[in-house]
Amino acid sequence: GQNIDQPTEMTATEGAIVQINCTYQTSGFNGLFWYQQHAGEAPTFLSYNVLDGLEEKGRFSSFLSRSKGYSYLLLKELQMKDSASYLCAVLGNAGNMLTFGGGTRLMVKP
Amino acid sequence: EPEVTQTPSHQVTQMGQEVILRCVPISNHLYFYWYRQILGQKVEFLVSFYNNEISEKSEIFDDQFSVERPDGSNFTLKIRSTKLEDSAMYFCASSGRSDQPQHFGDGTRLSIL
């Protein structure tokens, strides 16, 4: 079975750093992907990890520990426009399907 | 930057009617996908497509659903006889390789009356 957990909501202050955690239990694993989704819009790719460790991409970084079934997305220097849902998704073995978590709704306050 | 395009942006259809949702994947991508998102719920996988055949499909993708790549650029999702519960946002995605990020189109909002 597939189980992906992430917090439902988080609040942070403009200019701060926020870490969004994701834990997963899946039958196959070929990578973990993070997407941003503004309300009513499409998921937009942010970052991904195939191997353990930290991937840095500008203000966004993502970390993976495969042995712990754990990932996090780190957002630095938060801006108001970062208010959105952040989706954790695991790429399985079968047919390249992405299994998504329920998303973490981040609210950035002034 | 190349992008996935979907048409129409919004489709309203009577229950029982057929709908075709259209997608133009990124031009050099080889892997194509359909996902759906019911309002307020998580994104759900429907089907993946590679080399002119279905690679994988979910339980949602029953006999009422079909996909086609009618030419070198379009990728379509057909729902043969729509039900109220088919109302959702349908996203098309594509990737260059199987392990590369999937890039999503803006979606088609399907409303079944």
Nearest by CB to A95, from B56, B101, B106: name it.
Answer: B56
Neighboring chain B residues of A102 at a CB cutoff of 8 Å: 41-42
Residue A4: its pLDDT value, please?
Answer: 96
Distance from CA of A17 to the nearest CA of B (A): 25
- DSSP, res B86: G
Residues of A at the B interface (Cβ-Cβ below 8 Å)?
30-31, 33, 35, 41-45, 48, 50, 87, 89, 91, 94-103
Task: Retrieve residue B66's tokens.
Answer: 């079909």
Min Cα distance A5 → chain B (Å) is: 12
Q: What is the structure's pLDDT at A93? A: 79
pLDDT digits (tens, 9 = 90+) for A47-75: 999 999 999 989 999 999 999 999 999 99
Of the residues B26, B46, B103, B104, the best mutation for testing chain A's interface (the one with the most A CB atoms within 10 Å of its CB) is B104
Q: Do A42 and B91 touch (CB under 8 A)?
A: yes
- Tens digit of each residue's pLDDT (9 = 90 or more) over A71-103: 999 999 999 999 999 999 999 877 689 999 999
Q: How far apart are CA B45 and CA A100, in angstroms?
A: 8
Looking at residue A96, its pLDDT comes to: 85
Q: Is the pLDDT of residue A1 over 70?
A: no
Tokens 């029982």, residue? Answer: B16
| pLDDT of the residue at B49 | 95
Residues in chain B with pLDDT values less than 50: none
DSSP 3-state assignment of A20?
strand
What pLDDT shows up at residue B31?
95
Mean pLDDT, residues A7-23 taken together: 98
Contact A14, A78 (CB under 8 A): yes
> Is residue B42 packed enough to be buried (19+ CB in 10 Å), middle (13-18) or exposed (0-12)?
middle
Mean pLDDT calculated for residue range A5-34:
95
